[in-house]
Amino acid sequence: MGYAELTPRELLAPGFAAPEVTGRAWHVRWDREPAIGPDALPAVVDFHTSGTTGPRRQWRRYGPKVWAEAGMLADLVAPGRPDAVVSFVPPVHLFGALATVLVPARLGVPAWYRDGFYGTLPDIGGRPAVMATPWIFELLLRHLDWVRGLDHLTVLYGGAMLPATAGDLLRELGPERALLVEVLGSTEAGGIATRSWREGEPPEWQLFPDVGFAGPVTPGAEVPLAVTSPRLAFRPGEPEPASWEADDRVVPLGARSFRHAGRAGRLVKVNGRRINLDDAEYALRAVLDCADLALLPVTDPKIGEHVELLVALAPGTEVADLDFAAAFARLGVRPRKLHVVPRIDRSALGKLRHVPAPTTPDEEVAAR
């Protein structure tokens, strides 16, 4: 697979959502072009939510503020001293537009973009920053010759919960040769908080420099994540909001840091046991050798809340090959049902799009 070489103008002119920007592999030499500024962007830039947690909606942002956020992300990866960017994040959404197009422009380094899992990696060494979606960690582990040929690797990640393969990649390279930078944000708010680490457990989240908690918070008390920021998006025809409340629960640790307790829609209580479904999925992946899995919150007529488990089998395996007893012990409860599905449809950033139909009747694969 080849990378079409584009000039910055050829990349920026069609817009972030244009097929020629999102649907093919390309390469831009920002290091050979005069530096651009915020005037390279339209005065107003529109993005859309993915539709994974509600109706797809249009959100508007001022171009200079998009440019400013790209500078903040460039500052986050700067400790790794990147000399190139390799991105797998589609520019159609805010994080992709920032990480794939504007961060390398702010850094003044060459950038490569690839729009799929299959194909060749650019023939580079040095100290690249990889802009990652959840599946990129698996791709990098499949191309360890390419990874081991690097002097240093910085990964900027802004998707759903980190997969276990992220830790595998850090251990493969070691703390001297790898840096993982994670961003928590949304289309509506932009970047809210970040954390960076090289080994071990991730640290607590720190708010972006221009972000604050909306109102007083009590350290140690779990609350919705509500923030103020000069980069909040707005709906067409409406003013910029003063604050934004995300679909996250957090425990503030001080004026500018917090522990993430889970997304509101991903927290359930089953028979009195509180379960963070994102954390639970992470734990199950270490037990179940499958292509993909997802936990779904459901209502139950007897106990109110429950969960069901979706499993996409790996090629050449059957349901009987998986150790569900160990998985349910790790989960702490038995899912109400187990659905075996051909695949689990996710957004580019790893969020579940919709519930696929099971390939086997529920009664035949009920969790037992």
- Encode pLDDT of 341-355 as tens digits: 999 888 777 777 655
Whether residues 128 and 236 fall in one domain: yes
Whether residues 326 and 232 fall in one domain: no
- The DSSP call for residue 50 is -
Whether residues 301 and 224 fall in one domain: no
**Among 231, 261, 291, where does a domain finish?**
261
Whether residues 247 and 336 fall in one domain: no
Q: What is the pLDDT of residue 64?
A: 97
Residue 223: pLDDT over 50: yes
Helices within 178-305 (DSSP H only): 277-285
pTM (two decimals): 0.83
CATH number at residue 144: 3.40.50.12780
**Among 261, 287, 313, where does a domain finish?**
261
Whether residues 88 and 208 fall in one domain: yes
Residue 280: pLDDT over 80: yes
Burial 317-345 (b: 16+ CB within 10 A, else e): eeeeebebeebbeebebbbbbbbbbeebe
Q: Report the domain count for the chain.
A: 2
> Residue 362: helix, strand or coil by DSSP?
helix
Whether residues 115 and 143 fall in one domain: yes
Whether residues 333 and 241 fall in one domain: no
Whether residues 174 and 208 fall in one domain: yes
Whether residues 187 and 48 fall in one domain: yes
Contact yes or no for 43/60 (Cβ under 8 A): no
Give the pLDDT mean for 53-67.
88
Give the pLDDT mean for 325-338.
92
Whether residues 243 and 330 fall in one domain: no
Q: Which residues share a beta bridge with 300?
A: 304
CATH number at residue 331: 3.30.300.30
CA-CA distance, 217 to 227, in Å (whole number)? 11
Whether residues 272 and 148 fall in one domain: no
DSSP output for 66-134: HHHHHHHHHHHHGGG--SEEEE-S-TTSHHHIIIIIIHHHHHT-EEEE--SSSSPPPS--S-EEEEE-T
Phi-psi group of 331: left, alpha or beta (phi > 0 → left; psi -120 to 50 → alpha; rest → beta): alpha
**Among 261, 292, 315, where does a domain finish?**
261
- Encode pLDDT of 252-275 as tens digits: 999 999 999 888 878 888 877 888
Query: What is the domain extent for residue 314?
Result: 265-364
CA-CA distance, 20 to 67, in Å (whole number)? 22
CA-CA distance, 306 to 15, in Å (whole number)? 43
